[in-house]
């Protein structure tokens, strides 16, 4: 009987062990292939005109570097997000609209300053 009670107590105790953190479906890796350092990144829901805060908090994403973008728990249910970056050398910005971040795990940004053309590849 004591063995049964001990097993029951152990089972109940194990049920309170924290579950491992699960990535939000919107988490993705941002790859900077623009040729320039990125000094700021804003991500806002496509349905909103509010970009929110710069998620880089003063850090740069150097050219060729990858930055993991992790959404805080509870940051909305939407999958469609817009992305805006600011370049460190001249403070110019570029934006991309309507990424379905629930199906994208990686976004690679490119920029040709001579033509002013920006583009992104994702998977």
Tens-place pLDDT, residues 10-50: 444 444 444 444 556 889 999 999 999 999 999 999 988 98
Q: What is the side-by-side strand order in the sheet with 66-69?
A: 66-69, 28-33, 106-112, 117-122
Tell me the fold of 25-122.
Immunoglobulin-like (2.60.40)
- DSSP summary character for residue 49: S
User: Which of the pair, 92 or 3, is modelled with greater confidence?
Assistant: 92
- Structure tokens, 116: 């002013």
- Structure tokens, 62: 């150097």
Q: What is the pTM of this model?
A: 0.77
66 within 8 A of 118, measured Cβ to Cβ: no
For every residue of 33-99, which 3-state class applies, written as one string?
A: ECCCCEEEEEEEECCCCCCCCCCCCCCCECCCCEEEECCCCCCCCCCEEEEEEEECCCCCEEEEEEE
Strands 28-33 vs 106-112: parallel, antiparallel or unpaired: parallel
């Amino acid at each position: 009987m004591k063995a049964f009670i001990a097993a029951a107590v152990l089972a109940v105790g194990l049920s309170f062990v924290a579950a491992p953190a699960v990535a939000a479906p919107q988490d993705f890796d941002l790859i900077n292939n623009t040729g320039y350092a990125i000094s700021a990144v804003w991500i806002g829901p496509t349905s909103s005109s509010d970009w929110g805060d710069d998620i880089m908090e003063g850090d740069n994403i150097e050219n060729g570097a990858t930055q993991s973008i992790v959404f805080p728990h509870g940051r909305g249910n939407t999958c469609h997000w817009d992305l805006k970056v600011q370049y460190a050398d001249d403070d110019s910005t570029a934006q991309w609209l309507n990424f379905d971040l629930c199906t994208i795990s990686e976004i690679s940004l490119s920029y040709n300053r001579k033509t002013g053309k920006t583009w992104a590849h994702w998977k």
